[in-house]
A and B are shown apart, each in its own frame.
Chain A
Amino acid sequence: MEKEQYQQLEQSVTPKPPYFKNAAKAFFVGGIICTIGQAVSLFYIIFFDFTEATAGNPTVSTMVFFAMILTGFGLYKRIGQFGGAGSAVPVTGFGNAVISAAIEHKSEGLVLGVGGNLFKLAGSVVLFGVVSAFFVALIKYILVTLGVVSW
């Protein structure tokens, strides 16, 4: 069998990813995570001295803390297998990427293991997050200077 012929056979045998089902699952899992995040945010606004603008930081820390607990008990990977992007995109997914790497590399010690590998998966999120934030800010700065929008 030729390569091209085999590739056709492979295409016909391999099941197509269930895009619609995956998107629906991601929508619900992501939605649930964000609803919990909203509840945490309201908790900080109502019970502590935070405003809508300042509640973000403690909310993110709390959500990452939840992700840490779930990752430690081996539950986050199950949520991830079910929810796909729904559990990867919210900040809990970022927490999971960092914490799973920390658990994994604990055996190589604190400095070379945990320290050196903590951002193995999340590093590109940090890098491209900062880079895209820079460009978005630059575009906004230009638009403000031109008088199209205001800060």
Chain B
Amino acid sequence: MVIVFQSKPSFLAGGVVAGPLEKRSVFSQYFDTIYDDERWKMETNEQGHRKMIQEACEILMKKSGVNNLEIDFFLGGDLVNQMTPTNFAARELAISFIGLFSACATSVSSVIVASLLTELGASNLSIAGASSQHNAIERQFRYPVNYGAQKPQTAQWTVTAAGFALIGKHREECPCIEAATIGKVIDYGMDDPFHMGAAMAPAAFQTIQSHLEQRNQQFYNYDLILTGDLGQLGLKLLKGMLVENGVKKEELTLLRDAGAEFYGQDEAFQSGASGAGCSAAVFFSYIIQQLRAGSYKRVLLVATGALLSPLSYQQGETIPCTAHAIEITMK
């Protein structure tokens, strides 16, 4: 279902912090801080995860010259059980908070909720975003970090990064959110947790198709359509589906994936990056900066999320996925 924002809420600023391995990211130059300690000098990975979220929000507030008392809402989520890192960060930030879980699509679903609150007039300033910390997430979904299991070529690497954006009322000089599509939950029967791109591609396809249709737009009306973390294989599959549906091959150059590009062509990361922090870090640094610089005028950001748990796939369930999209424009 597409939502058109009459008041066009704006991206006022972005705050992105990342871990040590993310220095190797092609997007690292756009991040605000890269920390050398993946635990942020805390005792556990989960505490480090919380600290990372806090730092991203603090950088964001500092950049915009506001303090926590001026922020109306904090909307975000992560992938740890019960989302304790984000919940605990909200305790420290002391801002009215709703935790959101759309797996790796939380980066966009949180912006949609923030934009709705802004449109409603309930929010002047909101922080929205998502994060992931490699070690904390790996132990949640897979094996202990130091367990020597061989990852297949289809696997993706969970990034350590937190990306948050400050959403406020419309401002001419800032990129603004024109429209959004809240995705359905799509399940094409994929059941391999080491091949998430294949599970998520159909969700991205559905969301992109329905957004374009309902907005009455064509592929080439956008400067860029960027998905969150499909990885190299997931992106290939999405392109395959789009071609099947009549999108021209030359138009596909407009379609990119943050996860596929995140670590460059480094084979150590298999099919690319994933995690809630992947799309959040790229969307709220690189993309906002490119829009502000005028390199892009109209961008469609599509964050995809795999809605599985370790329990669900051990019980033999397939992997349902979702994708949420926001259309951002710059004058």
Chain A interfacial positions (CB closer than 8 Å to B): 1, 3, 5-7, 9-10, 13-15, 17, 22, 71-72, 74, 76-81, 83-85, 87-88, 93, 96-97, 99-101, 103-105, 107, 120-121
| CB-defined A-B contacts under 8 Å, sample of 29 | A1-B202, A1-B245, A5-B244, A6-B237, A7-B188, A9-B240, A9-B241, A10-B237, A13-B233, A14-B154, A14-B195, A15-B153, A17-B152, A17-B153, A76-B148, A77-B148, A78-B148, A79-B148, A83-B150, A88-B148, A96-B148, A100-B145, A101-B144, A103-B144, A105-B144, A107-B43, A107-B45, A107-B46, A121-B147
Question: Which residues of chain B are near A7, meaning CB under 8 Å?
Answer: 188-189
Known contacts A14-B154, A14-B195; A6/B147 CB under 8 A: no
Bound CA span A107–B195, Å: 30
Q: Is the CB of A10 within 8 A of B198?
A: yes
Q: Is the CB of B233 within 8 A of A14?
A: yes
Interface of B is mostly: loop
Decide if B312 is an interface residue (CB 8 Å cutoff): no
Question: Which residues of chain A are near B236, meaning CB under 8 Å?
Answer: 13
Q: Is the CB of A87 within 8 A of B148?
A: yes
Option from A9, A77, A104, A120 in Cβ contact (under 8 Å) with B237: A9
Counted as pairs of residues, one from A and one from B, with CB atoms less than 8 Å apart, the total is 93
Decide if B190 is an interface residue (CB 8 Å cutoff): yes
B28 CB, nearest partner CB in chain A, Å? 22
Bound CA span A97–B188, Å: 33
Bound CA span A103–B135, Å: 12
Question: Which residues of chain A are near B293, meaning CB under 8 Å?
Answer: none
Bound CA span A99–B153, Å: 26
Q: Is the CB of A3 within 8 A of B189?
A: yes
Bound CA span A107–B188, Å: 38
Question: Which residues of chain B are near A105, meaning CB under 8 Å?
Answer: 144
B173 CB, nearest partner CB in chain A, Å? 42
Residue of chain B at shortest CB distance from A79:
B148
B182 CB, nearest partner CB in chain A, Å? 21
Residue of chain A at shortest CB distance from B237:
A13
Option from B144, B152, B233 in Cβ contact (under 8 Å) with A104: B144
Decide if B139 is an interface residue (CB 8 Å cutoff): yes
Option from B148, B189, B190, B202 in Cβ contact (under 8 Å) with A80: B148
Decide if B91 is an interface residue (CB 8 Å cutoff): no
Bound CA span A3–B188, Å: 6
Question: Which residues of chain A are near B216, meaning CB under 8 Å?
Answer: none
Q: Is the CB of B144 within 8 A of A121?
A: yes
Q: Is the CB of A80 within 8 A of B147?
A: yes
Give residues 202-260 of B contacting A (CB, 8 Å): 202, 205, 233, 236-237, 240-241, 244-245
Residue of chain A at shortest CB distance from B245:
A1
Interface of A is mostly: helix
Chain B interfacial positions (CB closer than 8 Å to A): 43-46, 139, 143-154, 188-190, 195, 198, 202, 205, 233, 236-237, 240-241, 244-245
Known contacts A76-B146, A100-B143, A103-B144; A14/B198 CB under 8 A: yes
A149 CB, nearest partner CB in chain B, Å? 38
Option from A15, A74, A84 in Cβ contact (under 8 Å) with B146: A74
Question: Which residues of chain A are near B147, meaning CB under 8 Å?
Answer: 77, 80, 96-97, 100-101, 121
Q: Is the CB of A77 within 8 A of B153?
A: no
Option from A15, A81, A96, A101 in Cβ contact (under 8 Å) with B150: A81
Bound CA span A13–B236, Å: 7
Question: Which residues of chain A are near B151, meaning CB under 8 Å?
Answer: 81
Question: Which residues of chain A are near B150, meaning CB under 8 Å?
Answer: 22, 80-81, 83-85, 88
Q: Is the CB of A6 within 8 A of B202?
A: yes
Q: Is the CB of A104 within 8 A of B145?
A: yes
Residue of chain A at shortest CB distance from B138:
A104
Q: A1-B241, A3-B189, A15-B154 are in contact. List 5 more A-B contacts (CB 8 A).
A: A6-B241, A76-B148, A77-B148, A84-B150, A88-B150
Per CB-CB distance, the 9 closest pairs between chain A and chain B, nearest first, are A80-B148, A104-B144, A100-B146, A100-B144, A84-B150, A100-B147, A107-B44, A76-B148, A77-B148
